[in-house]
Amino acid sequence: MTGQSRPPALHLRGVFLPQEQERDAWIVDGRLSFTPVPDAETIADRGWIIPGFVDAHCHIGLSPSGHEPDPDGQAKQAILDRDAGALLLRDAGSPVDNRSVQARADLPRLVRAGRHIARPKRYIRDLGVEVEPADLVAEVERQAAAGDGWVKIAADWIDRTQGERSDLAPVWPDEILAAAVARAHELGVRVAAHVFGEDALPGLIAAGLDSIEHGCGITADLLDEVVRRGIAVVPTLINIDTFPMIAAQGAEKYPTYSAHMRALHATSRERIRSAYEAGVQLFVGTDAGGLLQHGLVREEITALVQAGLPQPEVIAQASWRARQWLGFAGLVEGAEADLIVYDSDPRVDLATLYEPRRIVLRGRVVSPIG
Ligand SMILES: [Zn+2]
């Protein structure tokens, strides 16, 4: 990156994951090498070395208090994520330009989805680009050009036209969704969709989207097809834990919706566990930027483990598997040196996640310094 001196060569030794191999490695010009380099500074001589975590669903430029167009404010968010171990972020839609993060070598890598594509009155106000179904395909084209290989569609939300019977409902007709996903794929772009409830899922899955965000409405009858199509689910359990609060706010005016949100929360762990057991690929996303602060990747990892997923699997999803899904390498010769050194094996010890010995991003120790 501009204005920065060439970083010194670094040396580290430890057990590399997922290979589970104890070895020496060197970092030169931001990249990993297993060929010895003279005069390298040793930054770790033991421990467990893991590819940096991925927050597969967060929002840089969005905070619980509103939009954050200021690059310094965006950097603060990204640093919270980084210091929690998330060295690669998939931004699941931002209302503001957050490319400033990509210009700074000390901030996590960022894969952006452009702006949320929503429908008027069918999503959080002022967050997404709002279009009617007839314009969905054209908006997908625009956001495909604006992002880094992903577009984000808000695919279910409360339909407030039904009085007290108002409930979560699909936002888009199935055939429009199918055309939108097909167009994104023609353009080489993947599609992520926000979906809380059950009813939007069959249409999305039939359309062949790439990732279901939240997905707490997933039902057993859909799992085989989700697996067959290689569709990922990013559960954002710590965000689903805000559902009882959202339900309480709407309880009087929208009792059906409120009860539905409570039920989705109550069954979320069981449904995500069933998805895991059926072989659905799951990734770790916090949804930071909406109701939650940044820097919570460890809390989402913990929530998934507490939901009953095997801890080694959750660590794999949060680290090398998510990197691979987004097109980034693991800890192999020549790979970007984005890694964390822990004193003990994070696959068996979650407490170690809170005491990283070293966090290395683009070949530099970013935390803890010294
Ligand atoms: Zn989100």
Distance in Å, CA 301 to ligand 1 centroid: 17
* 58 Cα: distance to centroid of ligand 1 (angstroms): 6
Is residue 70 situated within a structural domain?
A: yes
Answer whether 149's CB lies under 8 Å from 182's CB: no
Do the domain assignments include residue 255?
Answer: yes
Can you give the CATH number for the domain in which 222 is found? 3.20.20.140
Q: 90 and 46, same structural domain?
A: no
Note the helical H segments in the chain: 71-83, 136-146, 174-186, 201-207, 220-228, 237-240, 243-250, 255-278, 297-306, 311-318, 320-325
pTM above 0.95, yes or no: yes
Query: Is residue 108 a part of any domain in this protein?
Result: yes
Ligand 1 centroid, distance to 56 Cα (angstroms): 10
Containing 66, the helix (H) or strand (E) segment is strand 66-67
The answer on 359 and 291 residing in a single domain is: no
Residue 22 lies in a domain: yes
CA 169 – ligand 1 centroid, Å: 18
The residue segments making up the domain with residue 178 are 53-325
**DSSP character string of 290-333:** TTB-S--HHHHHHHHHHTT--HHHHHHHHTHHHHHHTT---S-T
Distance (angstroms) between ligand 1 centre and the Cα of 334 equals: 33
For residue 44, how far is its CA from the centre of ligand 1 (angstroms)? 36
| Total tally of structural domains belonging to the chain | 2
CA 204 to centroid of ligand 1, rounded, Å: 17
Q: Are residues 258 and 166 in the same domain?
A: yes
**Within a domain: residue 212?**
yes
In angstroms, what is the span from residue 122 Cα to ligand 1's centroid? 15
Total count of residues recorded for the chain? 370
CA of 65 to the centre of ligand 1 (A): 15
What is the predicted pLDDT for the residue at 4?
59
Compute the distance from residue 165 Cα to the ligand 1 centre, in Å: 26
Shared domain for 116 and 235, answered yes or no, is yes
Same domain, 96 and 171: yes
Residue 3 lies in a domain: no
Cβ(33)–Cβ(27) below 8 Å = yes
Centre of ligand 1 from the C-alpha of residue 98, in Å:
15
Residues 138 and 258 occupy one common structural domain: yes
172 and 289: one domain? yes
**Are residues 312 and 206 part of one domain?**
yes
Same domain assignment for residues 334 and 259: no
- Residue 363 Cα to ligand 1 middle (Å): 30
The pLDDT assigned to 235 comes to: 98
Contact 181, 146 (CB under 8 A): no
- Same structural domain for residues 266 and 317? yes
Distance from C-alpha of 344 to C-alpha of 350, rounded to nearest angstrom: 9
Any residues with CB less than 8 A from the CB of 161 and at least 6 apart, and which?
Answer: none
Q: Ligand 1 centre and the CA of 84: distance in Å?
A: 19
Within a domain: 5: no
CATH no. for residue 343?
A: 2.30.40.10
212: β partners: 193, 233
The reply to whether 345 and 256 lie within a common domain is no
Ligand 1 centroid distance, CA of 41 (Å): 40
Kindly give the distance from the C-alpha atom of residue 339 to the centroid of ligand 1, in angstroms, as a whole number: 25
What is the 8-class DSSP label of residue 200?
A: T
pLDDT tens series, the chain, 370 aa: 444 567 789 999 999 999 999 999 999 999 999 999 999 999 999 999 999 999 999 999 998 888 999 999 999 999 999 999 999 999 999 999 999 999 999 999 999 999 999 999 999 888 999 999 999 999 999 999 999 999 999 999 999 999 999 999 999 999 999 999 999 999 999 999 999 999 999 999 999 999 999 999 999 999 999 999 999 999 999 999 999 999 999 899 999 999 999 999 999 999 999 999 999 999 999 999 989 999 999 999 999 999 999 999 999 999 999 999 999 999 999 999 999 999 999 999 999 999 999 999 999 999 886 5
Q: Which residue(s) pair with 213 in the sheet?
A: 194, 234
Task: Answer yes or no: are the C-beta atoms of 117 and 154 closer than 8 Å.
Answer: yes
Interval between CA 49 and ligand 1 midpoint (Å):
29
- 63 CA to centre of ligand 1 in angstroms: 11
Distance 287 CA to ligand 1 centre (A): 5
Whether 250 and 113 share a structural domain: yes
Residue 2 domain flag = no
How far apart (Å, rounded) are the C-alpha atoms in residues 207 and 205? 5
pLDDT at 368: 83
Write the CA distances from 198 to 157, 234, 267, integer angstroms. Answer: 11, 15, 12
